[in-house]
Amino acid sequence: MKNLVIISRDWKVYKSRFEANQELQNHFILVDAGETSTDLILKQAELMIGEPDLTAKCVARCPKLDWLQSTWAGNNKLQSLQKHDYKLTGVKGVFGLQMVEYVLSYLLYFTRRIEDFNTLKQSHTWSQLPCNTLSNYSIGIMGLGSIGQELAQRLLQFGMTVNGFSRSDKSINNVNEYTYQELPKFLGSCDFVVNLLPETTSTNGLCNRQFFSQMKKHSVFINAGRGSAVDSPSSLIEALEKEWLKAAVIDVFDQEPLPNDHAYYTTNNLYMTCHTAAISDPHQVFDLFEKNAVRYCKGEPLLYEHNFTLGY
C-alpha cells in the first residue's frame, strides 16, 4: 500500500473521487488532502496529486515521493526545482477543445471586425464593412504538441493556411512546418501567430523586440503558452505602439496575478484574459490519474511523463 497525499485547491473533488474508487483504495492510502500539508505527512508521501504552484512549495520535504500527478499541462514550477528524483506526469488530451475555442474566438473577433462594428454603432453610423472568411488568412502555431496539433486540424477545416513552428519535425498533413532556424520566414508568413510552446531555455524570451519586428505588419500575436516566452512587456508594448502588430491577446504572464499598476492594463490593442484559455477540470484530471494508477501498479510507463532533461 502506497501513501497518497492530495495538495490542491480542488482537493474535495479528488478526495471524493478517490473514496468512490474501491480499486484505488486496495493499493493506496489517502493520508491527507487539502491545500497544504504538515511536514509529518509530507515525509510519508509516496504519491501526490496537485497543482505545480502548490506542490512546488513542498516536494523538497517529500523524501519518499515516487510519483506526482500534476493537475496542469505545464510543470515549469516543478522543473525549476533541484529535486527531480521522482516521476512527474502532466495533463494532456483535455485542453485541446478549450484552446481551439479560445483561439477561434479571437480569430473571428478580428476577421469579422466585431470591434469596428461596435465603434460604428456607438457613433450611430451605418456602414457595411467588408469582411473576409478565415480561409483568406494564415496562422502560425508555435508548439506542435497535442494541443497545437488539435488546433491545427480544426483550423484546417476552416480553410486556413496553417504554419507550424517546432523543435522537431512532426510531419502533420497540410501543415507547413518551420524550424527554429526559419523563425523570420515563419513570422513573415502569418496573419496570426499563436504561442503554445512549453517553457524551456530555448523558448524563454523568444518573443522579443526582434521577433515582433519580423511579424507581418497588422498581424495578431496570441500568447496562450507561457508568460516567459515574451522577454519583457516593453518589447510587446513597443510593437503595438509602433503598429508593427494589429493587436496582441495575452493569457499568460510572468507574474500572476498581474499587478493592478502594470502597463498592460493601459496598452491599446492589447487584450488580456487572465490565464483562462484552458482550465483544468478536476474530474478529467482524476480520470487520467486513475489510468496512470493502473499503469503504476503494473510497473508500466506512465502517460504524459515529464522529461526533466528536456524540460517538458
| Three-point CA angle 140, 143, 149, nearest 5° | 80
Q: Which residues pair with 311 in a beta bridge?
A: none
Closest CA to 222 of 307, 106, 131: 106
Place of cell 488539435: 150
DSSP state of 301: P
Strands 67-70 and 87-89: parallel
Closest CA to 25 of 245, 290, 283: 290
Q: How many CB atoms lie within 10 A of CB 49?
A: 27
Q: Which residues pair with 70 in a beta bridge?
A: 50
- Rounded CA-CA distance 57/52 in Å is 9
DSSP state of 221: E
8 A C-beta contact, residue 96 and residue 147: yes
Residues tagged active-site: 226, 275
- The grid coordinates of residue 220 equal 495578431
In order, the DSSP letters of 228-279 are: GGBS-HHHHHHHHHTTSEEEEEE---SSSSPPTT-GGGG-TTEEE--S-SS-
- Rounded CA-CA distance 284/209 in Å is 39
If phi > 0 it is left, if psi is from -120 to 50 it is alpha, else beta; for residue 228 that is alpha
Question: How many angstroms from the chain centroid is the CA of residue 232?
Answer: 19
